Structure 1
Amino acid sequence: MSGEHTLKAVRGSFIDVTRTIDNPEEIASALRFIEDGLLLIKQGKVEWFGEWENGKHQIPDTIRVRDYRGKLIVPGFVDTHIHYPQSEMVGAYGEQLLEWLNKHTFPTERRYEDLEYAREMSAFFIKQLLRNGTTTALVFGTVHPQSVDALFEAASHINMRMIAGKVMMDRNAPDYLLDTAESSYHQSKETDRTLAQKWSSAICDYATLRPDLIS
């Protein structure tokens, strides 16, 4: 396949941030807006980005330009804290946090001991992220290692960047969701090995953890 066939050309209005921001007051000075811009993507990576007039000559005649003028194009969003097992219970009512956990969250998370169910919900979760412009996320699974396996499996099918891990809980939860420091360590180590360093441990709410599990 020639390089031309892997090239995508996108035209439209773009806005992004040109540097890492440590202070919200710096955001305005770091914003970049291009009213009529061009983005060239080759094999999933940015090949060129800038003003349309400066880059249009780089587009081969055989490439169709995706024209989104009149729309605003932004980089993918990054969600730094999200629980994918709670996808199906969004909006579930609870007067207090503990009531909500015991009535909705814990019973829902129990279902992720079933690998096929975890796979089904992982696919749904990732589709929802992408529908809303999120292309990278730091994701909590459940205490079940297979919940993480299913998530990475779904993400790998579309080459999506994902940071995730099994949740560790050894108190203040039903017995069917509790693990120990030792079991969490060994399960995390095994998942780390099988996923070839693509996995990262995730620790749940401190209310469900004893100090020895954190250490």
Structure 2
Amino acid sequence: MTQTAYRAQLLTFREDPAHAADGAVYEADGLLIVEDGKVVAAGAYASIRDKLSPDATVHTMRDKLIVPGFIDSHIHYPQTDMIASPAPGLLPWLNTYTFPTERGFENPQISRETASFFIDELLACGTTTALVYCTVHKQSADAFFTESEARNTRMIAGKVLMDRNCPEFLRDTAQSGYDDSEELIARWHGRGRQHYALTPRFAPTSTEAQLEACGVLAQKHQDVFIQSHVAENTDEIKWVESLFPGHRSYLDIYDHYNLLRRRAV
């Protein structure tokens, strides 16, 4: 096996440093050894240099710091071109900027070009894994996973489910959302570093039938992720309460449809 090694400063984490005094591990003179694209050893140079093979290529960069790739646990790739658009609140922001922008992702070329730029920007910031929202269009998810696979990044993403309280041009149905998600799971989940997330946008934009169908998929595919939004502002919370009477809380709605479990974010 071909070895490539990097002699540099190393920073990694064995636990959350906010809760463990020794959670962060720093090596001023560290060594990272890679074989066939995978890290096989990392630590103090003096303690693991004997693991280097005679023909290893060693890159010396003592003034550099090597860290694990960052993880972004919530991001929307279709919103790349409208970040920081001003609005008085969440709901007018969706109607004024987000929904019109997402309409364009019906076009596979727009999806591919945006996904390509988006992932390159993540990598430029050191982010190698993200939990990503696509649009309601199946092709937006296909484009995103295709670009991620080409770069060998680990991404978790899903087609948005949205069958009410949104423009007609962004609306699916409980059945089409189920079918599209099932197809995308079969094509992408567990393929290399790609993983699928069932993605009801948020409770107000899904009917009870759609949330129920999403729950069925979640039960059927126990290892897929689930992502949604909850309680971002008071107007939204009041709206949800009127749409789903009888629930103990906003979060209880997701629980009712079996959407709270491991891998749900």
Letter in 2 for 1:213: Q
1:1-215 pair list within 5 angstroms: 3-4=1-2, 7-19=3-15, 21=16, 24-26=18-20, 28-60=21-53, 62-195=55-188, 197=190, 198-215=195-212
Q: What is the TM-score with the length of structure 1 in the denominator?
A: 0.89
Distance, in Å, in 2 between the alignment partners of 1:32 and 1:58 is: 20
Question: How many angstroms does 1:166 deviate by?
Answer: 0.3
Q: State the number of aligned residues.
A: 208
Comparing 153-162 with 87-96, greater Cα deviation is found at 87-96
Report if aligned partners of 2:112, 2:143 keep a CA contact under 8 Å in 1. Answer: yes
**Unaligned stretches of 5+ in structure 2?**
213-265
Letter in 1 for 2:62: R
* Deviations 1:170-211, CA, capped at 9 Å, x for gaps: 222111111111110011112222336543322212232223
Distance, in Å, in 2 between the alignment partners of 1:121 and 1:91 is: 17
Q: What is the TM-score with the length of structure 2 in the denominator?
A: 0.73
Comparing 189-198 with 77-86, greater Cα deviation is found at 189-198
Between the two structures, name the one with larger relative contact order (CA 8 Å, sep ≥ 6). Answer: 1
> What is the Cα-based RMSD across aligned positions, in Å?
1.8
* Deviations 1:92-115, CA, capped at 9 Å, x for gaps: 222222221111111111111111
* Deviations 1:45-68, CA, capped at 9 Å, x for gaps: 111111112233443455442223
| Secondary structure, counterpart of 2:196 in structure 1 | coil
Distance, in Å, in 1 between the alignment partners of 2:189 and 2:84 is: 36
Distance, in Å, in 1 between the alignment partners of 2:206 and 2:121 is: 30
Q: 1:196 to 1:82 in 2, by over 3 A?
A: closer
Percentage of pairs with the same residue? 40
